[in-house]
């Protein structure tokens, strides 16, 4: 039976909150991407996420909660992590911290830490308030494919595998949250770049924020989004700067900025009319999906220049993983 797409009416939100409490799966909008939500303290419900997404059990889930007090019921916070939460939540920052015993091991892939955040999307927050439970919610797509930023994207990928989709319109940010390992507050590490930039974190914490290397597909992941290949279209993707080289036949070309006066052209897709980072991030996954379903043999994508700052690190990270060899 295909998934039912629910408009965000008060009655539907109450109905979906009850479904989540009963262990059902519900795809929900967040400010970053759509997530496939389940009761985070119900191991059976969380296992259903892995089955629906065809997600390997070594890739942990992010838990979404309403506020810091609810987060502290699930994770051991140090003073620096608590300061970060008070400053950046609600918002697209995920903190990795030692988990408390109530968090099922399926959520953390058997590890001692849990990834946790407070979403800013008003519908996600209303569901959390109504359901009165924490929600495990990785991206609502088949594992490894381009993340969904609309309810239609969710339906295309998981419509035959889940019962409910809450339609909250297009996601405002468009790329996943920044994942920050705060288990050692003296040496914070960004496990996945995202909407909160490293420079912003360093300025706030007053210490150097390190990066983390990708892990092999068979090892336990410290956080979602760390695999070398991820967020990938089925069509081979090549990172290629603007060039006069003529692309081979059957190539879709994705450029960052649409020059003024440039007419729409066959096989060319634009991420932004102005080259604005926020617009590029917001459109990235939708444009990649559009190119991927166009029957092309390959997709050429223009990467952002080094040192662009802000969201550029997250955008280039997603493009590099999408272009990694199969």
DSSP state of 227: B
Do the Cβ atoms of 302 and 256 come closer than 8 Å? yes
* pLDDT digits 0-9 by tens, 174-229: 999 999 999 999 999 999 999 999 999 999 999 999 987 765 555 566 777 777 88
Helix (H, G, I), strand (E, B) or coil at 183: coil
Tell me the percentage of the chain whose pLDDT exceeds 90.
Answer: 80
The count of residues in the chain is 326
What is the rounded average pLDDT of the residues 253-282?
82
CATH architecture of structural domain 4-173: Alpha-Beta Complex (3.90)
**Cβ-Cβ contacts under 8 Å for 245 (sequence gap 6 or more):** none
* pLDDT digits 0-9 by tens, 246-262: 888 899 989 887 766 56
**Residue 249: in which H helix or E strand, if any?**
none
Helices (H), the chain: 10-21, 43-53, 68-71, 79-88, 122-131, 151-158, 198-205, 277-292, 312-323
Q: Any idea where the domains of the chain sit in the sequence?
A: 4-173, 237-323
Helix (H, G, I), strand (E, B) or coil at 77: coil
């Amino acid at each position: 039976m295909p998934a039912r797409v629910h408009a965000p009416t008060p009655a539907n939100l109450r109905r979906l909150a009850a479904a989540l409490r009963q262990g059902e799966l519900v795809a929900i909008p967040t400010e970053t991407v759509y997530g496939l939500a389940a009761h985070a303290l119900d191991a059976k419900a969380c296992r259903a996420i892995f089955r629906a997404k065809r997600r390997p059990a070594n890739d942990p889930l992010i838990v979404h909660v309403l506020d810091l007090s609810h987060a502290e019921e699930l994770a051991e916070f140090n003073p620096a992590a608590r300061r970060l939460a008070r400053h950046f939540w609600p918002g697209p920052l995920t903190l990795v911290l030692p988990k408390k015993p109530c968090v099922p091991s399926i959520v953390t892939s058997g590890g001692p830490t849990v990834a946790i955040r407070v979403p800013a999307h008003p519908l996600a927050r209303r569901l959390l308030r109504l359901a009165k439970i924490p929600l495990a919610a990785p991206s609502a797509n088949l594992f490894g494919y381009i993340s969904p930023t609309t309810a239609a994207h969710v339906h295309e990928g998981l419509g035959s595998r889940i019962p409910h989709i809450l339609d909250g319109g297009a996601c405002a940010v468009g790329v996943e949250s920044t994942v920050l390992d705060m288990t050692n507050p003296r040496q914070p590490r960004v496990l996945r770049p995202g909407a909160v930039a490293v420079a912003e974190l360093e300025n706030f914490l007053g210490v150097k924020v390190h990066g983390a290397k990708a892990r092999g597909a068979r090892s336990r992941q410290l956080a979602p989004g760390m695999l070398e290949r991820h967020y990938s279209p089925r069509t081979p993707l090549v990172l290629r700067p603007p060039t006069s080289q003529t692309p081979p036949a059957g190539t879709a070309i994705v450029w960052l900025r649409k020059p003024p006066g440039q007419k729409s052209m066959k096989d060319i897709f634009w991420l932004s009319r102005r080259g604005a980072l926020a617009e590029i991030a917001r459109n990235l996954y939708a444009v990649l999906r559009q190119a991927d379903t166009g029957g092309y043999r390959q997709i050429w994508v223009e990467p952002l220049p080094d040192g662009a700052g802000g969201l550029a690190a997250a955008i280039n990270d997603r493009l590099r993983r999408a272009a990694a060899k199969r």
